[in-house]
Amino acid sequence: MTVEYTAINKETVAGEIKNFLASCPEDAVFKLVINSKRGYFRIKIKNVSKGRIRKLLGKLRIRRKKSNV
């Protein structure tokens, strides 16, 4: 979802970002891109389910290594 605002003040931006972050789950992973030359920034939510699967696989690999030693 993309929302574009023009000619807004700092407080409005801060409020919108707070609302966005409040609507996301606690374990969400974000990607933040700031382009100061062009005057914009982007916040994207990375795929949370992939992160959970990678964490689980990493934990299983660590346990397997410890049991083989």
Summarised one tens digit per residue, pLDDT across range 23-58 is 887 878 888 888 878 777 788 887 666 666 777 777
Q: Render the burial of 5-44: b for 16+ CB within 10 Å, e for the rest.
A: eeeeeeeeeeeeeeeeeeeeeeeeeeeeeeeeeeeeeeee
**Confidence (pLDDT) at 65:** 64
Domain carrying residue 51: 10-68
Q: Is residue 5 part of a domain?
A: no
Q: Is residue 1 part of a domain?
A: no
23's tokens:
């609507």
Q: Is residue 46 part of a domain?
A: yes
pTM of the model: 0.49
Q: Is residue 51 part of a domain?
A: yes
> How many structural domains is the chain composed of?
1
Q: Give the whole-angstrom CA distance, residue 49 versus residue 63.
A: 21
Q: Is residue 43 part of a domain?
A: yes
Q: Is residue 16 part of a domain?
A: yes
Q: Is residue 3 part of a domain?
A: no
Q: Which residue has the higher pLDDT, 18 or 69?
A: 18
Summarised one tens digit per residue, pLDDT across range 9-28 is 888 888 888 888 888 878 78
**Confidence (pLDDT) at 8:** 78
